[in-house]
Structures are given as C-alpha cells and as structure tokens.
Amino acid sequence: MMYKENFISYLRFEKRYSDHTIFAYENDLEQYERYCSEFHNEVDVLDSKLIRFWMINMIESGLSNRSVHRKLSSLRSYSKFLLKKGVIKTNPVSSVLKPKLRKRLPVFVENDKMNDFLNDYDFGDDYSGMRNRLIIEIFFQTGIRRIELINLKLNSFDNELKHLKVLGKRNKERIIPIRSELLALIMPYINIRDETFPGNESDSLFLSNKGKPVYPRMIYNIVNNYLNYVTSLEKKSPHVLRHSFATHLLNNGAELNAIKELLGHSNLAATQIYTHNSFEKLKSIYHKAHPRAD
C-alpha cells in the first residue's frame, strides 16, 4: 500500500493515537494486503468487492464478528485518509455490509467481593506485593485504562489536592480525585521501590521485579491472577475493574456525565452502556421485591 506509511504518520502525529492502536492499524492493513496478494494477485487495490471477499474469508477462518468489524474499521479509516488526500474518490468500505454484532454488556465484579478481598488478602510487604496491591487498588478506585496505569509517573499524584493526573487517549490529560486510603498506599510503595532499586533513573511509578517499566502483558497477568480469588467470571482483565468502577458509581447515584469525565470517554455514548447493567440490576430487584413475587 503506497500511502500506508503516510497514514501511520498521520495517526501518530496528528491523531496522536497510542503505539498499541497504531500497531493494530498496521497489522490490519498488512493482513488485507497479504490477502489481496495471495488470493487475487493484487497488492495495492482498495475495491469493495475485494474487501467483501476478505471479510468472508475472515469469517470462514473463524474470526469473530467483532474482530472483523475492527479490521474493516481500520480499512475504512485508511480509505477516509486517502479520500481526504484526493487519492481516491469514494470510500470502498462504505458499501460493504458488516456482520451483525451481539450487544455485550460490560462484566464487572461486585463491590462487596472486591472490598472483602482487598481488606482480607495478604499481598505481602515485599516490593512485588506492595506494587501488586497498589495496581489493583488504582484500577478499582479510579477506573483508569491499562495503558494509563503503565504511563503513571512518580509525580502523577498530588497529596495535598488528593488527585491523580492521567494521560489518556490522544495524549489528553485528565484529573481524577482519589481517596486518602489510596494515597496512604502510595508513599510506602515508593519508599520500598527506592530501596529495592537504588539509583534507578526511571520516573515510571511501576517497575517490574528487574527494575524495568511494567508492560501490558505483565499488568494483565497480575490482575488476572488476583481476580481468580474474587470472581468466577471468565474474563478477568484490568478492563473488568474499569467496568466495575463505572458500574458501582452509576449504581450509587453518580451522574452519567461525571462518569464520562472520570473514565476519559470522548462522548456520552461510550458511557451509556453502563446503564444497561444498572437496568438489569433494577429488573432483578423489581422481580424479587414485587408484591406478586413467589
């Protein structure tokens, strides 16, 4: 694809997408390129018919409808870029009928279960134990994304104003208020971090056991391991704790716009999915408490 590098530069420097997102775009475009080359002897052709064939091929290969949607979205964004630059006159992805998606409600851990676990579980008082506890607490108490936690710095917290500075998507900074209980965990952790890695010049808040900044798979494994003690949910990821944070706020009367700001959503539609969980809870209470209930 002749203009792929220009597109990637556009995503990186103008749209300010994260490295993770850019990698996904590159991977999707390369997959389409390989498909065209292997099955149609074409390399740099954006054609609705070829795109439709590619979609069918992905579905027949067992790829989920949601993954197919994402890959088509990458191709659509690339086509829009070419359209904007005058390279093409129409967006070929627009005429491709996408597979249907089932609406997925965000899964979450019950507040009581998480609080009981955090109050009772012994994480240990060594470096890794204190680090892991703080990671779980920050996810559960602030709802930040995994990459946002990885990017936290030693100076991201303000002890006097009791808030946390987070660098979100597209390098947008937001402020999240935090409780004194969370602040009380931070200084002891930083102290043991400095004792464990004297002279370490990294300003990253969280370090691996080797003194290097933490990385996405490591954070996922830490959260997944501890959530095994809390829930039988099939999915046990940092995003589950983000969902838990948002759901508990909503269930306790927080306004949707406030939750939107805390989560760093760009629009309210992304936040409204949590209202479905609250409605399901309301229905459950209704059926249990109804005067005609068995």
Active site residue 265: yes
> What pLDDT was estimated at residue 267?
87
- Are 174 and 266 part of one and the same domain? yes
Asked if 145 is an active-site residue, the reply is yes
- Which one is catalytic: 71, 146, 239, 243? 239
Residues 172 and 254 in one domain: yes
Domain membership of residue 100 (yes or no) is no
- Specify whether 50 is located in the same domain as 129: no
- In a shared domain, residues 142 and 243: yes
Give the residue numbers spanning the domain of 44: 4-95
12 is catalytic: no
User: What's the chain's average pLDDT?
Assistant: 90
Whether 69 is in a domain gets the answer yes
Q: 207-235 burial, b if ≥16 CB within 10 A, otherwise e?
A: beeeeeebeeebbeebbeebbeebbeeee
3-state secondary structure the chain: CCCHHHHHHHHHHHCCCCHHHHHHHHHHHHHHHHHHHHHHCCCCCCCHHHHHHHHHHHHHCCCCHHHHHHHHHHHHHHHHHHHHCCCCCCCHHHHCCCCCCCCCCCCCCCHHHHHHHHHHCCCCCCHHHHHHHHHHHHHHHHCCCHHHHHCCECCCEECCCCEEEEECHHHCEEEEECCHHHHHHHHHHHHHHHHHCCCCCCCECCECCCCCECCHHHHHHHHHHHHCCCCCCCCCCHHHHHHHHHHHHHHCCCCHHHHHHHHCCCCHHHHHHHHHHHHHHHHHHHHHHCCCCC
Is residue 131 located within the same domain as residue 218? yes
Instruction: Clarify whether 32 is annotated catalytic.
Output: no
Q: Report the pLDDT averaged over residues 160-184.
A: 93
Residue 98 pLDDT > 60: yes
Looking at the structure, tell me whether residues 72 and 137 fall in a common domain: no
276 is known as an active-site residue = no
pLDDT in tens, 74-97: 999 999 999 999 999 999 999 998
* Catalytic (active site) residue 169: yes
Residues 193 and 152 in one domain: yes
- 204 — pLDDT class (breaks 50, 70, 90): very high
Number of separate domains in the chain: 2
pLDDT of amino acid 273 = 81
Domain membership of residue 104 (yes or no) is no
Closest by CA position to 226, among listed 287, 139, 106: 139
Does a structural domain hold residue 80?
Answer: yes
Look at residue 154 in the predicted model and tell me its pLDDT.
97
What pTM did the predictor assign?
0.69
Active-site residue, from 193, 242, 248, 260: 242
CB 22 within 8 A of CB 11: yes
Domain match, 122 and 209 both? yes
Active-site annotation holder among 165, 169, 174, 276? 169
- In a domain? residue 15: yes
Distance CA 66, CA 181 (A): 39
Q: What is the CATH number of the domain that holds 193?
A: 1.10.443.10
Contact 42, 32 (CB under 8 A): no
For the chain, what is the largest distance between any 2 Cα atoms, rounded to a whole number of angstroms?
A: 68
Shared domain for 142 and 270, answered yes or no, is yes
Residue 106 domain-assigned (yes or no):
no
* Per-residue confidence band for 289, with pLDDT thresholds at 50, 70 and 90: low
Highest mean pLDDT among 84-88, 100-104, 266-270: 84-88
Q: Which of 64, 95, 126 is the last residue of a domain?
A: 95
Return the closest-CA partner of residue 213 out of 165, 150, 154: 150
**Of 95, 130, 151, which one is at a domain's C-terminal end?**
95
Q: Are residues 157 and 232 in the same domain?
A: yes
Based on the fold, state whether residues 278 and 182 are members of the same structural domain: yes
Q: Give the phi and the psi of residue 204 in degrees, each rounded to 5.
A: -65, 135
From the candidates 145, 146, 236, 248, which is the catalytic residue?
A: 145
What is the CATH classification number for the domain harbouring 41?
1.10.150.130
pLDDT per residue over 11-32, tens digit each? 999 998 888 899 999 999 999 9
pLDDT above 90 as % of the chain? 72
Do 258 and 139 reside in the same domain of the chain? yes
Is residue 293 situated within a structural domain? no
Q: How many CB atoms within 10 Å of residue 277?
A: 19
Selection from 281, 216, 215, 221 nearest residue 248 by Cα: 281
Select from 95, 125, 159 the last residue of a domain: 95
| Cα separation, 161 vs 164, whole angstroms | 9
